[in-house]
Amino acid sequence: MQMYMDGSGFTTKASELLIVSLPAMPHTRIDIRTLSPEALESWFTEQGQQRFRAKQVYEWLWKKSAHAFAEMTNLSKELRATLEESFVIQGIQVASIQKSTDRTIKTAFKLHDGPVVEGVLIPTSSRMTACISSQIGCSLTCKFCATGKLKLLRNLDAAEIYDQVVAIRRQSEENYNIPLSNIVYMGMGEPLLNYKNVLGSIEKITSPEGLGMSPQRITVSTAGISKMIRKLGDDEVKFNLALSLHAANDEKRSKIMPINDTNTLDALAESLQYFYDKTGTRPTLEYIIFRDFNDSLDDARDLAAFVKRVPSKVNIIEYNPIDDGEFQRASDEQLNRFTAFLEQKGVIVNVRRSRGRDIDAACGQLANKNISAENVLKKADA
């Protein structure tokens, strides 16, 4: 028989030990959308449920974009209650909506833990484009970008990115009766610094078990992280890639984009060529044109020379000033002269006109007036 010595020196039979129950630890419910199909199936098996139930729930989450278990009407009430006890769905919420005179719609999205990110529906005569965010804030501090003036709080997870697309797609259909046609990862944050979640969101958006959109209608934009561009090539991604170039010589580019100090134009040219060789997809070079900074014919000549190094096309983008006024928009005359020079050199070039400028929804302006969205949220939470 086992005997135990207590603190007083007396011995006690094991059978006489008093068993004290510790208080149960609170059960932390996890977001069900973080589970893989295999993990979801395993959970249902452990619950004594048939495996096909996992497929039903997965379809509700990613194809039908359900934000509540009560919506899953082909499940029994008992099973829905069990799901509710075990999991949460941390969907984003629409905090505020602004509509531009040019029909652009900007939405502030509140996340489950409180912060706000912004997304934009950009309607044109030929397409309906969702511009979505990948991070809360940004760490890259580009001088011309409002988001770059915000502290990076965290990465968005794949479901939070996916939810923006779902919400903006709904806006496109409800406001204009036209389906969403394109998605650009050009909102808040640097997508390639949130690589896993960005690619995870694209998988859910493009999968037949998800939204079923073509990856060729998706463009991921990067400020230029060479090793991650090469990783995109290694992963043989099917979506499009855009590089925020904005200057085609290192001295100028480093002045406005500190990331260039560690990712020079030579390194970027090599990584873009690698990406093209691996995927067969011609990257786009984005070039915001600033008055008296990068709008001269010498700048155009540098850009044309860079294009020769990489199979690519160029988007010239009108600048949209932010609050500090450090940079200004180039004149139409200079923009036309710049574009004409590139075309003479055989460069494929398009001019992207500003959209949503009056509601701070244009390129580089997201989060410029984010404090107004925060005020809306404070009132909503009061």
What is the reported pTM?
Answer: 0.86
Report the relative pairing of strands 105-110 and 116-123 from DSSP bridges.
antiparallel
pLDDT at 24: 47
pLDDT at 327: 87
Q: What is the pLDDT of residues 195-247, one digit of tens each?
A: 999 999 999 999 999 999 999 999 999 999 999 999 999 999 999 999 999 99
Q: How many helices (H) and strands (E) does the chain have?
A: 11, 16
* Total tally of structural domains belonging to the chain: 2
Confidence of residue 326 (pLDDT cuts 50, 70, 90): confident
Identify whether 19 is part of a domain: no
Cα 77 to chain centroid distance, Å, stands at 35
Identify whether 24 is part of a domain: no
> Half-sphere exposure of 230 toward its Cβ, with a 13 Å CA cutoff?
9
Q: What is the pLDDT of residues 22-61, one digit of tens each?
A: 444 456 899 999 999 999 999 999 999 999 999 999 999 9
Say yes or no: 77 and 223 in one domain. Answer: no
Say yes or no: 305 and 226 in one domain. Answer: yes
Say yes or no: 76 and 97 in one domain. Answer: no
Say yes or no: 121 and 79 in one domain. Answer: no
Which residues, at least 6 apart from 67, have a Cβ–Cβ distance to it below 8 Å? 89, 91
Residues noted as catalytic: 118, 363
Is the pLDDT score of 7 beyond 90? Answer: no
Token readout for 267 is 């390194």
Q: Taking residues 149-178, what's their average pLDDT?
A: 95
Cα 54 to chain centroid distance, Å, stands at 27
Identify whether 187 is part of a domain: yes
Say yes or no: 209 and 354 in one domain. Answer: yes
Identify whether 303 is part of a domain: yes
Identify whether 340 is part of a domain: yes
Identify whether 21 is part of a domain: no
Nearest to 199 by CA among 279, 207, 226, 59: 207
Region at 177 (left for phi over 0; alpha for psi -120 to 50; beta for the rest) = left
Say yes or no: 132 and 83 in one domain. Answer: no
Say yes or no: 65 and 120 in one domain. Answer: no
Instruction: Please give the Cα distance from 142 to 161 (Å, whole number).
Output: 22
Say yes or no: 157 and 253 in one domain. Answer: yes
Mean pLDDT of the chain: 88
Say yes or no: 64 and 117 in one domain. Answer: no
CATH number at residue 291: 3.20.20.70
Which residues, at least 6 apart from 349, have a Cβ–Cβ distance to it below 8 Å? 313, 314, 315, 316, 339, 342, 343
Say yes or no: 84 and 105 in one domain. Answer: no
Which residues, at least 6 apart from 138, have a Cβ–Cβ distance to it below 8 Å? 145, 147, 148, 150, 152, 188, 189, 190
Contact 363, 354 (CB under 8 A): yes
pLDDT at 380: 40
Question: In degrees, to the nearest 5, what angle opens at C-alpha 261 toward C-alphas 190 and 148?
Answer: 35
CATH number at residue 36: 1.10.150.530
Residue ending a domain, choose from 41, 59, 88: 88
Say yes or no: 312 and 298 in one domain. Answer: yes
Residue ending a domain, choose from 72, 88, 104: 88
Which residues, at least 6 apart from 322, have a Cβ–Cβ distance to it below 8 Å? 144, 145, 146, 149, 364, 365, 368
Q: What is the pLDDT of residues 239-257, one digit of tens each?
A: 999 999 999 999 999 999 9
Say yes or no: 304 and 336 in one domain. Answer: yes
Residue ending a domain, choose from 62, 88, 114: 88
Domain residue limits at 357: 93-381
Identify whether 11 is part of a domain: no
Identify whether 4 is part of a domain: no
Q: Where are the alpha helices (DSSP H) in the chain?
A: 37-46, 52-62, 77-86, 158-176, 195-206, 226-234, 250-256, 265-279, 297-309, 332-344, 370-381
